[in-house]
Structure 1
Amino acid sequence: MNLKELSQNLGLSQTTVSRALNGYPEVSAETRKRVEQAAKRFNYRPSTRAKGLATGKALAIGHVIPVSTRHEMVNPIFGDFIAGAGETYARHGYEMILTIVDDAEEEQIYRGLAARRAVDGVVVHGPRMNDPRIALLHDLGLPFAVHGRASGCKTPYSWLDVNNKSAFETATAYLLDLGHQRIGLVNGLEGMDFAYRRRGGYEAALAAKGIAVDPALMRSGEMTELFGYQSTQDMLRQNDAPSAIVASSMICAMGARRAIEEMGLVLGRDVSVVTHDDVLSYLQNGTDTPIFTATRSSVRDAGRELAEMLLGSITDPSQAPNTVLLEAELIVGGSTGPRL
C-alpha cells in the first residue's frame, strides 16, 4: 500500500497522513493515532526517500571502506558490528550506505557525500594513528563517530572503543600468574590504533613483572587464520619457544590452535592461548565451556551503541562529542593452563 491508497482509505489528504506519520505538531493526537493504527494494520511503510525530502534529511548513514581494508567485509567482527549498527538504524528509520573505495579516492568520496548531502553522518572504521579523516570530516561539517580511537588527533570527536590496552594487560598478566614468562603476541597491524594500544598493554604487563620485551615473540599483520597459524608456527620453532600466546582475534587464535596441534602439542597444556573478541554470532567460542580463554567484548553491542551515539549527534548538532570506553571481561576457557 502506498501513501495515496492509505489516505483514500482513511478519507484524509496525503499531506495530513504524511504529517501525522512524521510527528508534525499541528496534527491532532486523535488523528495521529488513527493514522498510525491504520498504517500498522495495512503494513504501510513510508518511503525513506519521500520522508527524507519532507524532513530535509537523507535518513542514511555512510560507511566508507578503503580497498586496502576490504578484508573487513568478510571478517565476522566487521559483520557483527554492521549488524548491530543496522538494527539501530532500522529502528530509527535510517538506511545504511556501504561504499568500497580505492584508498586514493577516500577523501573525495567523503567530500562527495557531504556536498550531495547523500548521508546525514558517517562511521569511521579502522582508525589509524594520527588519522587524517578526523580533521577532514570536521572541516566538511559532516557528523561522524569513530569505531575506535585515533591517537595523536587533538581535535575532540565522538568515538566508542574497547579498552584494548587494559584487555591485553589483563590477558598477559593472567598468563604470567600461571607461570608463563615466554609469551608471544600475535597482533593486528600496528599502524592501526587498536593494535598499538594492545601492544602497549602486553608490554606493560611484562614490565610489571620485570620481564624484558623480546621482539622475537611479537608478530604484527592482518588478523587472518593463516597469519595466526604462521606466526605461532614460527615462534614455536624457536629454540626458546613461548609457552603461551596472546592473540588479537578469534580468527588468529584458531590459526594458533592449528599450528599447535600440527606440531603434536596440546592446547592449554603445552601451549596456552588467550584471545580477544570472542562474542561473534557466527563463530562461537564453544557453548557452556569456552574453547578459548578470552578478553570478551560484544562487537554487535558496540555497533548498536555507536550508531545511537551518531544518531544522537545528528538529532542535536549542538551536543559535545561523546566518548565511550568499554571494558573487556576475562573469561577462562580450556585454552590456558599452568606452565609445566
Structure 2
Amino acid sequence: MNLKQLSEQLGLSQTTVSRALNGYPEVSAATRLRVEAAAKESNYHPSTRAKGLATGRALAIGHVIPMSTKHEMVNPVFGDFIAGAGETYARNGYEMILSIVDDSNEDQIYRSLKLRRAVDGVIVHGPRIDDPRIALLSEIGMPFAVHGQVTHNVLPYTFLDVDNHDAFATATDYLFDLGHRRIALINGLETMDFAYRRRSGYEASLRAHGVAIDPALMRSSEMTEVLGYESARDLLGNSNAPTAFICASLISALGVRRAIEERGLVMGKDVSVITHDDMLSYLQNGGETPIFTATRSSVRTAGRRLAESLLHAIEHPNNPPQETILKCEFVVGHSTGPAPRKDEHGF
C-alpha cells in the first residue's frame, strides 16, 4: 500500500496522513492515533527521510572506529554488540552509520558529524582509562553513550558496563577456594578501561588472600587466541608454573587450552581456566554445560540496552545521564577443578 491508497482508505488528504505519521504537531491526537492504527494494519511505513525532515533529526546513530582499533570491525564481540544495537535502531526507525577514521582526525570527524547534523548521537567504543572523547563530545554538545566506563573522568555521561572488577575478583576467589595459589591473568590491553578494572579485581582478590602480586604471572595485549597460547606456553614452561589461568576473553582462553593440551596436560584436572564469556552468537561456550567456567554477560544485550539509553538521551536531553552497570553471571564448567598436588602436576 502507498500513501495515496492509505489516504483514500481513511478519507483524509495525503498531506494530513503524512503529517500524522511523521510527527508534525498540528495534527490532533485522535487523528494521529487513527492514522497510525490504519498504517500498522496495512503494514505501511512512512519514508525515513520525510520523518527526519518533520522532526529535524537525521534518524541515524554514528559509530566512529579509529584506524588503530579497526580490528574491532572483525571482532565477534563488536559484531554481537552492533547486532544488539541495530535491533534497537530498527525498532525505533533509526539507521546506523559506521565510520573508520584516522586517529589524528577523530576529533574533527565528531565535530563534522555535529556540524552537518549527519547523526543524532554516537556510541563510543573501547573507552580508555583517560579517554578524551568524553570531554570532546560534551563540549560540542553531541549526544553520546559509552560502551564501558572512563576511570579518569569527572564529567557526567551515559554509559553501560559490566562490573568487571567484581567479576574478576569473584573468579579469582573461586580459584582460591579450589586451593590454587599460583593464578595467572591473561588480560586485554590495560590502557583500555575494562582491562584495567579486570586486573584491579584480580589483584584485590590476591591481596584479600594474602598472596603477593606477581607481575610475572600477568600478560596483557590484544585478546587473541595467539596471546592465550603463547602466554600459557611460556608460563607453563617455568619451574614454578601457575596452576590456574583467568582470561579476559573466550578467544584467548582457547589459546590457553591449546597450550595446556600441547604439554599433555588436562584442562580442569592439571590446570584450571576461567574466562569471561560474552555469550557470542558464533562462538558459544559449549551447550547446556559450559566448557569453560566463566563470568558471563551478553554483549548483544549490552548493545541493545545502550542503544536504548542513547535514544532516551536524544529524546530527553535535559534528563540526567543513565549509568548502567550489569552484574555478571558466574557459571561453572569443565575447565576448573581442585589445585593439583605437586607430584601430580607434571611440571
TM-score in terms of structure 1 length: 0.96
Determine if the alignment matches structure 1 residue 264 to structure 2 residue 264: yes
- Provide the C-alpha distance between the structure 2 equivalents of 1:253 and 1:221, rounded to a whole number of angstroms: 13
**What do the CA deviations read for 1:62-113 (whole angstroms, capped 9, x no partner)?**
1111111111111111111111111111111111111111111111110110
- Provide the C-alpha distance between the structure 1 equivalents of 2:294 and 2:37, rounded to a whole number of angstroms: 47
Indicate the residue corresponding to 1:211 in structure 2: 211
Would the aligned equivalents of 1:219 and 1:231 in 2 still touch at CA under 8 Å? yes
Q: What secondary structure is seen at the aligned counterpart in 2 of 1:153? A: coil
- Provide the C-alpha distance between the structure 1 equivalents of 2:197 and 2:31, rounded to a whole number of angstroms: 55
Determine if the alignment matches structure 1 residue 225 to structure 2 residue 229: no
Residue 304 of structure 1 and its aligned partner are, at CA, apart by 1.2
Would the aligned equivalents of 2:73 and 2:79 in 1 still touch at CA under 8 Å? yes
Would the aligned equivalents of 1:169 and 1:204 in 2 still touch at CA under 8 Å? yes
- Provide the C-alpha distance between the structure 1 equivalents of 2:8 and 2:227, rounded to a whole number of angstroms: 62
Comparing 8-17 and 25-34, the one that deviates more: 25-34
Would the aligned equivalents of 1:250 and 1:277 in 2 still touch at CA under 8 Å? yes
- Provide the C-alpha distance between the structure 2 equivalents of 1:27 and 1:263, rounded to a whole number of angstroms: 73
Indicate the residue corresponding to 2:323 in structure 1: 323
- Provide the C-alpha distance between the structure 2 equivalents of 1:74 and 1:297, rounded to a whole number of angstroms: 20
Comparing 5-14 and 241-250, the one that deviates more: 5-14
Indicate the residue corresponding to 2:121 in structure 1: 121
Q: What pairs up with 1:234-313 in 2 under 5 angstroms?
A: 234-313=234-313
Indicate the residue corresponding to 1:86 in structure 2: 86
Q: Which amino acid aligns with 1:212?
A: A
Distance of aligned partners of 1:28 and 1:319 in 2 relative to their CA distance in 1, 3 Å threshold: closer
- Provide the C-alpha distance between the structure 2 equivalents of 1:227 and 1:52, rounded to a whole number of angstroms: 46
Residue 43 of structure 1 and its aligned partner are, at CA, apart by 3.0
RMSD after superposition: 1.6
- Provide the C-alpha distance between the structure 1 equivalents of 2:46 and 2:100, rounded to a whole number of angstroms: 28
Indicate the residue corresponding to 1:164 in structure 2: 164
Q: What secondary structure is seen at the aligned counterpart in 2 of 1:111? A: helix
Q: Which amino acid aligns with 1:106?
A: E
Q: What secondary structure is seen at the aligned counterpart in 2 of 1:227? A: helix
- Provide the C-alpha distance between the structure 2 equivalents of 1:19 and 1:101, rounded to a whole number of angstroms: 38
Indicate the residue corresponding to 2:44 in structure 1: 44
Q: What pairs up with 1:52-91 in 2 under 5 angstroms?
A: 52-91=52-91
**What do the CA deviations read for 1:222-255 (whole angstroms, capped 9, x no partner)?**
0111111111111111111111000001111111
Determine if the alignment matches structure 1 residue 196 to structure 2 residue 196: yes
- Provide the C-alpha distance between the structure 1 equivalents of 2:110 and 2:92, rounded to a whole number of angstroms: 23
Indicate the residue corresponding to 2:153 in structure 1: 153
**What do the CA deviations read for 1:283-340 (whole angstroms, capped 9, x no partner)?**
1111111000000111111111111111111101101111111111210000000011
- Provide the C-alpha distance between the structure 2 equivalents of 1:263 and 1:104, rounded to a whole number of angstroms: 45
- Provide the C-alpha distance between the structure 1 equivalents of 2:28 and 2:111, rounded to a whole number of angstroms: 41
Indicate the residue corresponding to 2:187 in structure 1: 187
Report sequence identity in percent: 70
**What do the CA deviations read for 1:188-229 (whole angstroms, capped 9, x no partner)?**
000001111111011110111111111111000001111111
Q: Which amino acid aligns with 2:14?
A: Q
Would the aligned equivalents of 1:65 and 1:100 in 2 still touch at CA under 8 Å? yes
Would the aligned equivalents of 2:39 and 2:45 in 1 still touch at CA under 8 Å? yes
Gaps of 5+ in 2: 341-347
- Provide the C-alpha distance between the structure 2 equivalents of 1:275 and 1:311, rounded to a whole number of angstroms: 32
- Provide the C-alpha distance between the structure 1 equivalents of 2:8 and 2:226, rounded to a whole number of angstroms: 61
Counting matched residue pairs gives: 340
Would the aligned equivalents of 1:296 and 1:330 in 2 still touch at CA under 8 Å? yes
Determine if the alignment matches structure 1 residue 35 to structure 2 residue 32: no
Q: What secondary structure is seen at the aligned counterpart in 2 of 1:269? A: coil
TM-score in terms of structure 2 length: 0.94
Would the aligned equivalents of 1:278 and 1:294 in 2 still touch at CA under 8 Å? no
Would the aligned equivalents of 1:277 and 1:299 in 2 still touch at CA under 8 Å? no
Residue 19 of structure 1 and its aligned partner are, at CA, apart by 2.0
Would the aligned equivalents of 1:278 and 1:285 in 2 still touch at CA under 8 Å? no
Q: Which amino acid aligns with 1:283?
A: L
Distance of aligned partners of 1:259 and 1:216 in 2 relative to their CA distance in 1, 3 Å threshold: same
Would the aligned equivalents of 2:24 and 2:55 in 1 still touch at CA under 8 Å? no
- Provide the C-alpha distance between the structure 1 equivalents of 2:277 and 2:225, rounded to a whole number of angstroms: 14
**What do the CA deviations read for 1:32-71 (whole angstroms, capped 9, x no partner)?**
3543344334432222122101110111111111111111
**What do the CA deviations read for 1:127-183 (whole angstroms, capped 9, x no partner)?**
001111000001110000111011111111111111101111000110111011111
Would the aligned equivalents of 2:23 and 2:55 in 1 still touch at CA under 8 Å? no
Residue 12 of structure 1 and its aligned partner are, at CA, apart by 2.9
Would the aligned equivalents of 1:66 and 1:100 in 2 still touch at CA under 8 Å? yes
Indicate the residue corresponding to 1:109 in structure 2: 109
- Provide the C-alpha distance between the structure 1 equivalents of 2:2 and 2:260, rounded to a whole number of angstroms: 60
Q: Which amino acid aligns with 2:84?
A: G
